[in-house]
Amino acid sequence: MTKNTECNLLVLPGDGIGPEIIAQTLRVVSWFGEFLDVQIKTEHALVGGASIDACGYPMSDEVFSKAEAADAILFGAVGGPKWDDRPRSERPEMGILRLRKGLDLYANLRPAICFPELIGASALRPELVRGLDIMIVRESTAGVYFGEPRGISTDAQGARRAVDTQSYAEAEIARVCRLAFELARNRESRVCSVDKANVMETGALWRSVATEVGREYPDVELTHMYADNCAMQLLRGPNQFDVIVTDNLFGDILSDEAAALTGSLGLLPSATISAGRHDQRSHAVYEPIHGSAPDIAGMGIANPIATILSFAMCLRISMNEPAAAKLLEDAVRLALFNGNRTPDIAGPERDGISSDAMTDAILASLDALKVSKGN
């Protein structure tokens, strides 16, 4: 069969459980390589600590050039104790930050869905999380992650002072808010903008710009919430949210919190996307929201679902294959429905299965759904 189009997928496994969950996800990528008209071409490269060990940098210029040229990037996770004592600018985490900034990946989409099959694994009571479906839109190229000045200085008495700078230009706020409103139009048409407008100048600007952008979307309800209250409301009544749009740091924290509502950090996928380039192509990184999990690295028990669902987002956003994305999401649900659980979602009474066995179950579900849908 001749394939109609091509997708060049750059695969960056990283550190810790990164290579493990990526290896599992590539089994799913291969399955779709057979199934789709798109020809998926993968190329692998080093990032994070693995790259530091090989060439001294968390992301080399060569790998960054490959990322620029790729149609999509599948990213595992970076970091680990081995590199924790390095200066900030030389840590593995700079690998992902360079990608976000360098490719202008301004919007990090982090959907948090509570699957009915996992309602018992949630940190909250079932009645609080039943039907949970939130989209967190996290700004990802600005804020305190990239603001200047930053650094640590020592005064005349030898006492150290650290400085980070939270900085936002209105255009940086407007574009991520606009995207949140667009996404909300295909959901429940509700956006909650989260800031600290009561304390921070950046928060006041965030609220004012979100309000201005909201006027362009009279059909979408806009509410504002302080970030501390949002952290509490996510625990008290998470179903009140549809789309949350917020800055880089609050989005990082609130999305890990949302993961606990769904059952595990090992379940939450993400897509970090840029605007279209002049040639109409855009960049995108697909990655789980979790990190390299040093505590379970090498044990073969990491939950691969967050990364596999990140590939589903890749199918939908970068490959324009919504039916395939839905098929994969359904296959994950079916594998869970059939009782497959890695230890993070197994609960205290069960041992849990390996990453490999969970992927086997998802692949078997893909085969079963493919047959039942007559594909």
Ligand X SMILES: NC(=O)c1ccc[n+]([C@@H]2O[C@H](COP(=O)([O-])OP(=O)(O)OC[C@H]3O[C@@H](n4cnc5c(N)ncnc54)[C@H](O)[C@@H]3O)[C@@H](O)[C@H]2O)c1
Ligand Y SMILES: CC(C)[C@H](C(=O)O)[C@@H](O)C(=O)O
Catalytic residue ranges: 145, 196, 228, 252, 256
Q: What is the x/- site pattern for ligand Y, positions 80-119, by CB under 6 A?
A: -------------x--xx----------------------
Structure tokens at 201: 């100048």
Closest CA to 143 of 181, 163, 169: 169
Binding range to ligand X, per CB under 6 A, among 98-106, 168-176, 292-300, 319-327: 292-300
Name the residue nearer to Mg ion (CB basis): 21 or 29: 21
What is the closest distance, in whole angstroms, from the C-beta atom of residue 194 to ligand Y in the complex? 16
273 token code pair: 């996307």
Please tell me whether residue 344 binds Mg ion under the rule CB under 5 A.
no
Q: Find the shortest distance in angstroms from Cβ 99 to ligand X.
A: 10
Compute the least distance from the CB of residue 289 to Mg ion, in Å.
6
Report the candidate in 319, 294, 292 with the shortest Cα–Cα distance to residue 306: 292
For residue 348, what are its two tokens?
């205290």
Burial 173-207, CB ≥16 within 10 A → b, else e: bebbbbbbbebbeeeeeebbbbbbbeeeebbebbb
- Phi, psi (5° rounding) for residue 364? -65, -40
Query: What is the footprint of ligand Y within residues 232-261 (CB under 6 A)?
Result: 252
Q: Is 356 labelled as part of a ligand binding site?
A: no
**Residue 95, annotated as binding a ligand:** no
Residue number of the CB closest to Mg ion reads 252
Which residue in 289, 325, 331, 362 binds ligand Y (CB under 6 A)? 289
Is the Cβ of residue 20 or residue 93 nearer to ligand Y in the bound state? 93
Alpha carbon distance 116, 118 (integer Å): 5
Q: How far is the CB of 299 from Mg ion (least distance, A)?
A: 22
- Cβ-based burial of 279 (10 A; exposed 0-12, middle 13-18, buried ≥19): exposed
Residues within the interface to ligand X (CB under 6 A): 17, 21, 77-80, 93, 96, 264-266, 287, 290-296, 302-303, 306, 344
